[in-house]
A and B are shown apart, each in its own frame.
Chain A
């Protein structure tokens, strides 16, 4: 109480229309600064620093000073077939996770938007993967995929679908297997966002359309989808970026194996930087990833936005 009165006295008089504007501006700076400094030092700064590093020969634990090498790292990257292979795998992974993630989450969100019994249970369960540490998600699915003690092979045996296999170390099955995990892990956020979007679609329009005899499919395309579109676009774009940045899941599941079949670009760059100490080269990889992904996203968003009439 005393503190409040003291501060009140130190700021004499209730703020009035005239002098208020300046005061709030100065007050705003004071309020913003504590967040602004860490953002600049630990987020914006490192990003710019990282881009600069890509043009140097920076290495870990080297005594000679780091030097500018211009575009040398990028020239090397151009001929680095391992990197481009990893990049291709990363794209397959990101698209392979993002698309099913969206479709499955949309289905679930539509169901959760209905007046169904057990909806509360489904809502709670749908969110569980979100709350789990990624490492634990990876561990969990390792247990599912384990050849002998795993539930997947056992279920296949029970259903008479053969003996199953070692999913995570098979050359052909490893990438699809980790993609399934990626879909599972990312569904909650997508579902929650889409559900929020659904609940903002105008009910009256729905009812009017139903009165006019529009079927469920028709109603979805004419009423629900136009309202959901912006959310769907934003979520898909974000999911794509998150999936490109994915690391922990695959690190725990396969560490990039077998034979590099699941070595996502993030794992590749991580090894390059922190196992082999090639900071400059790894930073160049980061730059290339950003550039390619920005272009892809821009194409996607522009294409999608053009496709709609109103947005």
Chain B
């Protein structure tokens, strides 16, 4: 309102520049995915494919076991999300409601774990999982993902628990409801949307993860989508661009869809955490 017209124009120009910078790589990926090999070899690439084709998608599925990889990714991500939410919710509840020493320790761990040097963690983790015979197994990967998703899950959940007024629980207790009953019929329903959002976030984190999967999964039958994607790039760094773009686009779709669903809650959760945490 108070901004001058000139200022407004400047703001829109800046916003446009940001939009272009943020969007163009993704649009280029899309464009490349639908180009014919002939067009990809031509010296003057265009934004809109001259004769759009689905050949790249077909070829991508022929070259690499994308379906199996997607199945592995799905299993790992679903497993990690479910377990992470199951074990994080009770801890988050305690952290939000009680000022215990344990809660403080957990909060400290959440902060410190963000600073974890992955190099230092991955080697011992590899040795531990090897002794448990969980190398090259999705179960082992799920365990790692659960712990890896916990800090952010806890952070989000603590924010959501705090958003449920403790007075409601106290009122239920006054009315004679036991602790478990209060949790099940008062707290849980109010917390459910937050729990779902947290689970979906853990799902995306696991679906997108690369480093642990690269180290822990050895055989192609077990590998997840991000690892299989890198197989499109040859030893000399030469890549078949069309199929690579097609596969990369497909691998992103689930994350984008899930993210679109929870976008508001993520930003909301972060705000809640930032304000009170």
With A8-B181, A15-B179, A149-B45 given, is the CB distance from A140 to B28 under 8 Å?
yes
The docked-state distance in angstroms from the alpha carbon of A196 to that of B260 is: 19
What is the size category of the interface that chain A forms with chain B? 35 or more
Q: Taking the complex as formed, is A162 at the interface, i.e. its CB lies under 8 A from any CB of chain B?
A: no
Using Cβ atoms and an 8 Å threshold, which residues of chain B touch A107?
Answer: 14, 18
Q: Are A125 and B2 in contact (CB under 8 A)?
A: no
The docked-state distance in angstroms from the alpha carbon of A51 to that of B226 is: 29
Q: Are B94 and A274 in contact (CB under 8 A)?
A: no
In residues 31-46 of chain A, which contact B (Cβ within 8 Å)? 31-32, 34-36, 38-39, 41-46
Q: Are B117 and A289 in contact (CB under 8 A)?
A: yes
With A133-B251, A247-B210, A279-B127 given, is the CB distance from A289 to B275 under 8 Å?
no
Chain B at the A interface: mostly helix, strand, loop or mixed? helix
Select the stretch in A67-75, A91-99, A280-288, A303-311 that faces chain B: A280-288
Give B175's nearest chain A residue, CB to CB. A14
B138 smallest CB distance to A (angstroms):
15
The docked-state distance in angstroms from the alpha carbon of A15 to that of B179 is: 8
Contact of A283 among B98, B120, B271 (CB under 8 A): B120
Q: Are A47 and B116 in contact (CB under 8 A)?
A: yes
Chain A at the B interface: mostly helix, strand, loop or mixed? helix
Q: Are A4 and B185 in contact (CB under 8 A)?
A: yes
By a beta-carbon cutoff of 8 Å, the part of chain B in contact with chain A is 1-3, 7, 11-12, 14-15, 18-19, 21-26, 28-29, 32, 40-45, 47, 86-88, 90-91, 93-94, 98, 100, 102, 106, 109, 113-128, 143-144, 146-147, 150, 154, 173-174, 176-181, 184-185, 204, 207-211, 214-215, 225-226, 229-230, 233, 237, 239, 241, 244-245, 248-249, 251-252, 255-256, 258-260, 263, 266-267, 270-271, 274-275
By a beta-carbon cutoff of 8 Å, the part of chain A in contact with chain B is 4, 7-8, 11, 14-15, 23-25, 27-32, 34-36, 38-39, 41-47, 49-51, 53, 58, 104, 107-108, 111, 114-116, 118, 121-122, 124-137, 139-144, 146, 148-151, 154, 157, 169, 184, 187, 192-193, 195-197, 199-200, 210, 216, 231, 238, 241-242, 244-245, 247-248, 251-252, 254-255, 257, 265-266, 269-270, 273-274, 279, 282-283, 285-287, 289-290, 293-294, 297
